[in-house]
Structure 1
Amino acid sequence: MLSNRPPLPDEVERAVSRYLSVADRLVPGRIRGFYVVGSVALGAWRSGRSDIDFVAVVDGDAGERDLRRLSLLHKAGNVPAAGQALIRARPAVPGTLNGVFVASGDLREPVTRIRPVASHSGWRFKRGRGFEANPVVWKVLLEKGVTVRGPAPHELGLDPEPGRLREWNLRQLHGHFSTWAGRAMSGRPPRKPLQPAHRVALATVLSPPRLHHTVVTGEVISKEAAAEYALDTFEARWHPLIRLALARRLGLPAPAGGGDASLSDRRRLPHLAGEFMREVITSAGPG
């Protein structure tokens, strides 16, 4: 660990150290850079609720043997987080290290042209793909990424493609989140294994305001900050939903006196979330 970097929360420090210890046994000498991004870098990481997002730099080409070992790293490096989730009978796995592996020779490429070596998120491991190699994550990496191993981010020659940041966020809003909102308003709203639709809706509802903020300002903020932005930006009729989503994000009880009876109806809540998302997407402008 570097002594001149901003301190990581103790729990994050331990999790990263364990993960890299496993990595150095499975792929010795190959992980030449390791950077923490996401909620940790944005100052919004919450113990027991947040994941730990990273960008890892792999030295040299990755062959079949390396990919198999990175897949094993995904499992072995996250054993403590998975174990805690099982003990607490939680379908989500907070504390999981999720990230993307990029070849050192590709770092100077425009981010949308980078083909990652691999990535993993939650229970999923992907070869040759990684959503995290995108203008938003690269902006956070360059400006706020926490260096655990390797040169500082500003020495990597990164190209986050700032000219494409607004376009990229609009495409996400009008693509992924528009589809999500449509499903939420249908009779078959999105759900995840062991997670009912209303919980998935509350976990998702703050993402479109976050992207909206980036479209408008060019800056990337956390979901918690996006809740405050949404309260300042969108009509008061949405405020009870936003406050409920923020409370769930922080692990707090539902706010008293929410003022919207539909929030207590779990069957209605996904539809309400979809309606709010549609308004956010329309407000952001055409994609």
Structure 2
Amino acid sequence: MEPPGCHGRDRSLLLRGLIPATVSGVIEELTRRYLHAVDRALPGYVRALYVVESAALGAWQPGASDVDTVILTSRPPTRDDLAQLARIHAGMPRSPHFDGVYLEPALARSWPADGRAVPFVVDGEFRTGAPCGELSPALWLTLRHHGIPVRGPAVDELGIRVDPERLRRYNLDNLREYWQARAATFPAELAGVSPDTPMDGGLVSWFVLGPARLHHTLAHGDIISKAAAGEYLAGLFPEYADLARRAVSWRAGEAERFTATDLIAAVDSVNAVADDAWSRFGD
């Protein structure tokens, strides 16, 4: 006999036509495997599951993207629930990671965006008792506009609220306190490094594409993929157009090479994007 929730209610991502067939099989199998395990261990605990981030934005890349989810539960977790969830996530495949945020019923009505401690999974690791940085206005904006329901009601029935001012402040602060703070360490680290020294494509692409996504949200009130962020950055600052194109190509699996010169340019782009955002959308 199948555990409750494994048959009938759960939706096929492919049949709903919400993500490309070329990647839907991987994502469907991962969500199916998780739901089967959690329904067996904790019947009735997971009442809804939504796919968000790159898969929901139509930009999931094999080998580069995780499967990100929002999981709504039927009750606050007990100590035994948390132990079972830790065991389930430890048994999930290591690639791609199955990541997610757990929301108990009260939180699925208030949609907290303060990074409070809730059960969550990042890079495949289940965590409890620690601040969850994913609890942000950006997550709820993504869920409201792009979330794919695998189990549970349609997204527009959830009553998700995103405060525009909080969203603005979150993105501005993130650009300055997270992105620029990290970019600030690299000029010293690269001092004396030969300009043509090879650099990690993931690091360069991360700096090139991440801040542009936040700038787009400030300008347009929506979330875009990293691939779309490359095009957006090219339009915003044409001097970084070639670097943005190469970063997008690298994420798509193309054989792009990056050097210390590229990393310095990527760091410069972080500051250009952040400074422009604060100039246009700051207080």
TM-score tier, shorter chain, comes to 0.7 to 0.9
RMSD: 2.3
Query: Structure 1 residues 161, 111: closer, same or farther in 2, change over 3 A?
Result: farther
In structure 1, what is the Cα distance between the partners aligned to 2:31 and 2:120?
16
Query: Structure 1 residues 34, 153: closer, same or farther in 2, change over 3 A?
Result: same
Give the equivalent residue in structure 2 for 1:47. 62
TM-superposition CA deviations, 1:130-177 (whole Å, max 9, x none): 222211111111122111111112212222223321211111101110
In structure 1, what is the Cα distance between the partners aligned to 2:258 and 2:106?
52
Secondary structure of 2:69's aligned partner: strand
Give the equivalent residue in structure 2 for 1:233. 236
Query: Structure 1 residues 114, 272: closer, same or farther in 2, change over 3 A?
Result: closer
In structure 1, what is the Cα distance between the partners aligned to 2:227 and 2:109?
31
Offset of residue 233 of structure 1: 0.9
Q: Does 1:119 find its partner at 2:134?
A: no
Give the equivalent residue in structure 1 for 2:194. none
Whichever residue aligns with residue 121 of structure 1, its letter is V
Give the equivalent residue in structure 1 for 2:271. 278
Contact 1:184-1:273 within 8 A present in 2 as well = no
Contact 2:201-2:258 within 8 A present in 1 as well = no
Give the equivalent residue in structure 2 for 1:193. none
Contact 2:199-2:258 within 8 A present in 1 as well = no
Whichever residue aligns with residue 35 of structure 1, its letter is Y
Q: How does 1:1-287 map to 2 (within 5 A)?
A: 1-2=10-11, 5-8=16-19, 9-76=24-91, 78-79=92-93, 82=94, 93=95, 95-113=96-114, 115=116, 117-128=118-129, 129-187=131-189, 198-205=200-207, 206-236=209-239, 238-254=240-256, 264-265=258-259, 267-285=260-278
Query: Structure 1 residues 20, 97: closer, same or farther in 2, change over 3 A?
Result: same
Give the equivalent residue in structure 1 for 2:3. none
Contact 1:31-1:59 within 8 A present in 2 as well = yes
Secondary structure of 2:110's aligned partner: coil
Secondary structure of 1:138's aligned partner: helix
Offset of residue 40 of structure 1: 1.2
In structure 2, what is the Cα distance between the partners aligned to 1:16 and 1:72?
16
Give the equivalent residue in structure 2 for 1:85. none
Secondary structure of 1:157's aligned partner: coil
Query: Structure 1 residues 7, 220: closer, same or farther in 2, change over 3 A?
Result: closer
Query: Structure 1 residues 72, 140: closer, same or farther in 2, change over 3 A?
Result: same
| Unmatched runs of 5 consecutive residues or more in structure 2 | 1-9, 192-197
Query: Structure 1 residues 210, 113: closer, same or farther in 2, change over 3 A?
Result: closer
Secondary structure of 1:72's aligned partner: helix
State the identity as a percent. Answer: 32
In structure 2, what is the Cα distance between the partners aligned to 1:18 and 1:199?
31
Could you state the TM-score of these two structures normalised by the residue count of structure 1?
A: 0.82
Offset of residue 126 of structure 1: 2.1
Whichever residue aligns with residue 64 of structure 2, its letter is R
Secondary structure of 2:184's aligned partner: helix
Contact 1:202-1:245 within 8 A present in 2 as well = yes
| Unmatched runs of 5 consecutive residues or more in structure 1 | 83-92, 190-195, 255-262
Query: Structure 1 residues 188, 97: closer, same or farther in 2, change over 3 A?
Result: farther
Contact 1:111-1:161 within 8 A present in 2 as well = no
Whichever residue aligns with residue 125 of structure 2, its letter is R
Offset of residue 272 of structure 1: 2.5
In structure 2, what is the Cα distance between the partners aligned to 1:112 and 1:247?
33
Whichever residue aligns with residue 238 of structure 2, its letter is E
In structure 2, what is the Cα distance between the partners aligned to 1:199 and 1:47?
16
Whichever residue aligns with residue 13 of structure 1, its letter is E
Contact 1:5-1:146 within 8 A present in 2 as well = no
Contact 1:55-1:101 within 8 A present in 2 as well = yes
In structure 1, what is the Cα distance between the partners aligned to 2:119 and 2:143?
18
Secondary structure of 2:185's aligned partner: helix
Could you state the TM-score of these two structures normalised by the residue count of structure 2?
A: 0.83
